[in-house]
Structure 1
Amino acid sequence: MPEQSLYAGAALRRIRRRENLTQAAMAARLAISPSYLNLIERNQRPLSARVMMQLVSQFDFDPRALEADESIGGIDGLVRRMADERFSDLAIDREELDEFLAASPRVASAFARLFDNAAPASADAADPLVESRKAIERWRNHFSELDDAAEQTADDLRLSRADIGVALTERLRERHQLSVRILPREIMPDLQRRLDLHARQVQLSEMLPPHARNFNLAVQLAELEARREVESIAAGADFSEDTARQLFQRHLYGYFAAALLMPYGRFLRACQQTNYDFPVLERRFNVSFEQLAHRLTTLGRVGERGLPFFMARLDEAGQFSKRFAGASNSPLVEPVGSCPLWNVHRAFARPGEWQAQQVSVEGAQPSDWFTVARSTSGAENARFVVVVGVEARLAGEMALARGLSLSGDTFQPIGLGCRACRRVHCTQRSLPPTGASLRFDRAGRTNTPFSFGNG
């Protein structure tokens, strides 16, 4: 199993606030620089053993408190749980939750455990998709062992100097005695790829575009050559049923395939050199925007981190069919519903265009985000929009953010669906927020469909 780094930014902030210390003062007591402490508090650097020992000696810190923090996902994990409609009438804010976690981390952990195990109250409890996604989130969608193995395989294939499809085909032929055959649609009407061991063929549908062909070949290679790594990672996850484990493993094979097409070191350098210029990156690595968006959420290698992106895929009804938070902690992958003011929806009407937008998410921390969306077509011309985003404060170096103001007063306010959004005066509102009391004025009518209070 790869060693997981320990991120404890919230715990350090709580200790510093409890002791009424500035970052400079606390850094001095920990014998580190203020800038390094700032990175640790923002979860951009893991907590080292040396800093942990300083915490124990200087602040009488109990390391077991981190177990509670990790198990609930810190303050963001508590905020997500408190967004449940069962608590909507309590109006508990983030500051109260921060104080609760600081004062009673184990009680907070007990609450989170009870919430998560309340099976009758939530259909998600036994949902294999939810279980698989939670396992991915625990790793922040970064699997260093798979990245290392894929990078080694890419070096062996010399993907930087050869056509990717040709290199993958040759690998399958030489190492696994498998040929690649493209078959007509009528023979494979419902399949993209099939492994026929009797004929020693990897069969692909003729309907696949080149980037999808390459990805399918890379997934097939992953299933043949990365099985040990994938099964080792999956063995460390706790699933209630085998379906969730299989979904998780399918994600890991796709992860290896993407890492093979976009090897970590070369891909990160290209991102930094081009200022994350998505059109250039698509062409340089011969991938689709959806494949690129997936890969952007995985750049968490210690010492070589990229920008912390999230990605999601939506259909025309605003339903999320994919969502990965990566290291972003973005609330935009945890929606109760999609906000019509978020211009991901505009991308359906403008296929092929890049839709960049600065948004401010009501009630969320962090609240300000820079997002980029574009429409895409799936199998049999299924229509989706893929969106990626990063905190606005980090977006200044991005090519698609050039010329845009990243100050908060220019941002579009949005919510996480009308049921979760308590912004007033929104003319796009279709439902009142959960737990709100509706108000009626017989003397007049407002421009918005609902007037409400918090009680």
Structure 2
Amino acid sequence: MGGMSDPTILAGPSVRRLRRREGLTQAAMASRLGISPSYLNLIERNQRPLSARLVVVLAEQFDFDPRSLRQDEAVGGVDGLRRRLADERFADLAIDRDEIAEWLAAAPQAALAFARLFDASGKDVAAASTDPMDLVRREIERWRNHFADLDAAAEALADELRLSNADIGAALAERLRQKHQLSVRILPADVMPDALRRLDLHARQLQLSEVLDGPSRNFQVAVQLALLEQRDEIAAIANGAQFTDRAAWRLFRRHLAAYFAAALLMPYGRFMRACEATGYDLDLLQRRFGVGFEQLAHRLTTLQRVGQRGLPFFMARIDRAGQYSKRYAGASGTLLLESETSCPLWAAHEAFERAGRTCVQLVEVPDGAGQPSRWLTLAQTVERSGTLGAGTARFAVVLGLEARLAGQLAQARGLSLDPVHAVPIGPGCAQCHRASCLQRALPPRGAALEFDERIRGLTPFSFRG
């Protein structure tokens, strides 16, 4: 039944549709469920949640599929609808999160119909639907980047490895040797000019490039273990996405292998306890678990285990041009990552000039209803080395957390989270309607430009809408 035992499930419309399909009165259905008609009436009006017992009885009495209670996942939940309603076509309606939640609870089928129509006709989503990267990102968001079965398997293996060797690198290599008859070999960059990891079954070696640092080597070994030991589970999850694009399937499979690897290096229970004990101190967590900043940032977006949830971070990786190469909203609900490029006023760009240091910034962005939402963001650069003479690529990795929750973070100590200190930023010029921004490079898409030859404003574009 999975998450069906969640006591907060409000499923009035689903229960009402089921009762009408069976041709039953409330009194008749209540009798078969072993509850009073008045209590069933409250359930159908979303004034009482379904208990785990009632879900079981519904399944037994009416051939009811409990998964239908999670139809909101097909639209990405409240956050999925918020992203769609953030489109400039709805900007004047000021639909807030509470209205969206009420709509999804009261009329989930209507919400699903809207989502399908929007996805089919909206130019941005329609374009994204053919792109493997966007297809995979939407699937990851549907899961909120938390894959419970992979997490549990990784945690069990981590405990087993810890018993054999406290040095995680040595334990991973020994696991490969004993269970898979594979040795780990570090090769010079000129021998592996175009690869970081290579499985050579003829030589029975997992070959790693010397350009990888210690945390990256451990991660690559963990990825290989995921591909060897979790192949069926990973394939099952990837198949469940029902991608018609083979490239999307393979990208999603690669994400799942990396997910398992991160969960192996940062096992859920131990990692959560360390987060809470240190106030999510990023430097301490990196040292304690022997991981890099990007690996840590990934992991912080996945902490959604029922009964043991972490703070809802989002994570992004951008280049100097502001292009996203990774975007994980997790459970944060942020709309900041929904544009093609990032805002140049974001301190994530400043990180490129301050390599090795964390750039902390309180930002204010409009939410789906045009109201301000505030986020504490932390950005660091990460580097990717190539072969000799190929140079180094540099990216900025950003973690973000709602300002109302950020007081719990070690990195927020001594920092004012007062809204007056928030820096207004937007979702990239083409989607930003902030009129007075001196940094503006383009008018917002769809806005009506205005011209007055008697006045030259501070910004190059004046517009309405």
Q: 1:8 to 1:304 in 2, by over 3 A?
A: closer
8 Å CA contact 1:180, 1:202 repeated in 2? yes
Measure, in 2, the Cα distance between the counterparts of 1:160 and 1:367: 47
| Residue of 408, 414, 423 corresponding to 2:419 | 408
| Residue of 213, 219, 224 corresponding to 1:220 | 224
8 Å CA contact 1:72, 1:109 repeated in 2? yes
Q: 1:298 to 1:429 in 2, by over 3 A?
A: same
Report the counterpart of residue 195 of structure 1 in structure 2: 199
Report the counterpart of residue 368 of structure 1 in structure 2: 374
| Residue of 245, 250, 259 corresponding to 1:246 | 250
Letter in 2 for 1:388: L
8 Å CA contact 1:68, 1:108 repeated in 2? no
| Residue of 274, 279, 295 corresponding to 1:275 | 279
1:107 matched to 2:110? The reply is yes
Give the superposition deviation at 1:78: 2.7
1:433 matched to 2:444? The reply is yes
Report the counterpart of residue 394 of structure 1 in structure 2: 405
| Structure 2: segments with no counterpart, 5+ residues | 14-37, 40-45, 59-65, 387-391
Measure, in 1, the Cα distance between the counterparts of 2:132 and 2:396: 24
* Cα deviation digits, residues 370-392 of structure 1 (max 9, x gap): 11001110242211000001111
Q: 1:159 to 1:219 in 2, by over 3 A?
A: farther
The SS at the match of 2:81 is: helix
The SS at the match of 1:213 is: helix
Measure, in 2, the Cα distance between the counterparts of 1:163 and 1:445: 65
For residues 205-216 of structure 1, the aligned pairs below 5 Å read 205-216=209-220
The SS at the match of 2:327 is: strand
* Cα deviation digits, residues 207-245 of structure 1 (max 9, x gap): 111111110001111111111221222232221122211
8 Å CA contact 1:312, 1:323 repeated in 2? yes
Give the superposition deviation at 1:77: 2.2
For residues 82-161 of structure 1, the aligned pairs below 5 Å read 82-84=85-87, 87=89, 91-95=92-96, 98=100, 105-118=108-121, 122-158=126-162
Q: 1:84 to 1:273 in 2, by over 3 A?
A: same
For residues 223-234 of structure 1, the aligned pairs below 5 Å read 223-234=227-238
The SS at the match of 1:378 is: strand
Q: 1:194 to 1:343 in 2, by over 3 A?
A: same
- Count of aligned residue pairs for this structure pair: 415
1:176 matched to 2:180? The reply is yes
Give the TM-score of the pair, scaled to structure 2: 0.82
Letter in 1 for 2:75: I
Measure, in 1, the Cα distance between the counterparts of 2:123 and 2:351: 38
| Deviation larger for 199-208 or 362-371 | 362-371
Give the superposition deviation at 1:131: 1.6
Give the superposition deviation at 1:9: 8.0
Q: 1:324 to 1:6 in 2, by over 3 A?
A: farther
Give the superposition deviation at 1:445: 1.9
For residues 253-332 of structure 1, the aligned pairs below 5 Å read 253-332=257-336
The SS at the match of 2:375 is: strand
1:450 matched to 2:450? The reply is no
Q: 1:156 to 1:208 in 2, by over 3 A?
A: same
| Residue of 50, 70, 73 corresponding to 2:73 | 70
Give the superposition deviation at 1:81: 2.0
Q: 1:120 to 1:369 in 2, by over 3 A?
A: closer
Give the TM-score of the pair, scaled to structure 1: 0.83
8 Å CA contact 1:124, 1:130 repeated in 2? yes
Q: 1:10 to 1:427 in 2, by over 3 A?
A: farther
Measure, in 1, the Cα distance between the counterparts of 2:400 and 2:6: 22
Q: 1:374 to 1:12 in 2, by over 3 A?
A: farther
Q: 1:371 to 1:115 in 2, by over 3 A?
A: same
Give the superposition deviation at 1:82: 3.5
The alignment-based identity, stated in percent, is: 56
Larger Rg: 2
Measure, in 1, the Cα distance between the counterparts of 2:67 and 2:227: 38
| Residue of 384, 387, 396 corresponding to 2:395 | 384
The SS at the match of 2:129 is: helix
Give the superposition deviation at 1:100: 6.1
* Cα deviation digits, residues 187-217 of structure 1 (max 9, x gap): 1000011111111111111111111111000
Report the counterpart of residue 20 of structure 1 in structure 2: none
Q: 1:91 to 1:245 in 2, by over 3 A?
A: same
Letter in 2 for 1:378: R
Report the counterpart of residue 51 of structure 2 in structure 1: 49
8 Å CA contact 2:7, 2:50 repeated in 1? no
Q: 1:414 to 1:203 in 2, by over 3 A?
A: same
* Cα deviation digits, residues 276-299 of structure 1 (max 9, x gap): 000111111111100000000010
The SS at the match of 2:195 is: coil
Measure, in 2, the Cα distance between the counterparts of 1:165 and 1:102: 48
Give the superposition deviation at 1:162: 1.5
The SS at the match of 2:262 is: helix
Give the superposition deviation at 1:66: 5.5
